[in-house]
Amino acid sequence: MSTVEPRPPFPPFTHATAIQKVRLAEDGWNSRNPEKVAQAYTPDSRWRNRAEFVNGRDEIVQFLDRKWKKELDYRLIKELWAVDGNRIAVRYAYEWHDDSGNWFRTFGNENWEFDDNGLMSRRYACLNDMPIKEADRKFHWPQGRRPDDHPGLSDLGL
Is residue 29 situated within a structural domain? yes
Is residue 92 situated within a structural domain? yes
Domain count, the chain: 1
Is residue 7 situated within a structural domain? no
d(CA 106, CA 121): 24
pLDDT digits (tens, 9 = 90+) for 11-21: 999 999 999 99
Range of the domain at 33: 15-136
d(CA 103, CA 116): 39
pLDDT digits (tens, 9 = 90+) for 53-99: 999 999 999 999 999 999 999 999 999 999 999 999 999 999 999 99
Question: pTM (2 decimals)?
Answer: 0.95
Domain CATH for 46: 3.10.450.50
